[in-house]
Chain A
Amino acid sequence: MRAGGEKVVVDVTQRFGDLVVLDHLRFSIAANEFVCVLGKSGCGKTTVANLLAGLLPCSEGTVTIDGVPTDPRRHELAFVFQEPSLWPWRTVRDNIRIGLEIKRVPTPELERRVAEMIELVGLRGFEAYYPYQISGGMKQRVAIARAFAVDADLILMDEPFAALDEQTRHGMQAEVLRIWERKKTTVVFVTHNLEEAIYLAERIIVLTEKPARIKASLDVELPRPRDYAHPGFIALRKRLGELMGSAW
């Protein structure tokens, strides 16, 4: 845990019927921190993201942001989903507006922020395109632009690049970091991909298998931009592999 206080505090047990998905999961996140939640598929990572976003009520315990239970109406939240989430009937520009529109940001300010984000994710010239006209990587860039367009207290990313090819994924990871460094936002990035977590995170929270508890919380202090061949990178990958079990 680095300096910056405890902006987001999670302390939940989550059940779906008799199934315990999260078992006394407890962690906190500092302001402007980039945290990766790492776990095997089906361990409850998405549930963590949904709880943080207020899409799911906690069955026991709380998730608070600045001391207040997480609430999409009171907090500025944003979510980058794994599945295609752009509204197909809206153009690139109008998709990026959604969060600002809902929060009733005045038009000049809204236009300014949309233009800034289009510039930042390199989509200039594609503002008037519909989602079906652009590639998968571009669609996720629009989703990222939409998330960063609001001054979010917390941005959730749930395996946002899982459906992209290797090359595009690396490009997008670098891009997310660049935007995060520019906008200084708190990000929780959920993934099952070790390299992705090491490349992105300031801190990695490793979950156990279901019911998920915290297995480890590791600070990543490698210099940026991170190099996959760096000895520290390789050592950390090995360590995480051991933590996650034999299948890795």
Chain B
Amino acid sequence: MKSIEFHAMGSSMLAAVDNDTLAAAERLDSVPRWFKVWESRLSRFQPDSELSALNRASGAPFPVSDVLWDALQASLQAARFSDGLVTPTLTPWLEAAGYDRSFEAVADLGESPATVLAPPTRVGAELRLDARRRCVTLPEGSRLDLGGTAKGWAADRAVHRLRSLGPCLVDAGGDIAVHGPRLDGSGWAVGISDPSRPEESLELLALSRGAVATSGRDYHRWIRQGASQHHIIDPRTGLPASTDILTATVVAPSTVEAEAAAKVALILGSDAALAWLEAHPSLAGLLVLEDGSVRRSRRLSRYLWR
């Protein structure tokens, strides 16, 4: 197996192929460049990114690249899949919670004044997309954040580019896409990190296809005016989700779906999240609650290492 590790999109990345040829090594060497290009298109935090340009052009049609168009489509797919609980149009509410800079720069905001915004009223319904001309029109003053969906989309896209080499895996900061069982017939061993001891696994998965992603408020949280804040916004309130779940991990057919489903679970809270997961046959999940207890959906056993 050959692999490469690098840093992109504010997270640690890893790409691996079960192939020891020179061609595999050369293809792997190009993966960081792919992510650099995608980040330059999709980052909300880079002023010269294409997404930042689109946000500045709100109110007017803006022609976008294939990369931004595809990632935006994936984000809207996640919005539909999640019944609007995961949407790219929550940037003002993210910033109001204090997430107005990259994760590396988010610190204890102390007594800085909090901004209170009314909840969003028409989540995701404001975008106008012209498929023929590849133009996007944002409502005046609206800004997009593709967030975790962009990382999931990038993991799916990278695996798609690597799969001609054989079995492969891409880990985009914990959002993991897999193609094919390994050459020895086994699945890819993926641990579900214990939020209280991140180096240890709560469960070991054997994935032969599809994806797994984790969303959580265990790491990216900050204090603002004495209140704990995090980056998972509940669009029904416009505030960081009030939930008993600390981290949610979901196995799904694609990384975009896994990432969106993990966010949905976290926003819903454990009881509703388990019911929602059971109602979707393509999903399986593990929830770590604030009190340290762990809850699993029934289908998770299909993916456990035996």
The answer to whether A and B interact is: no
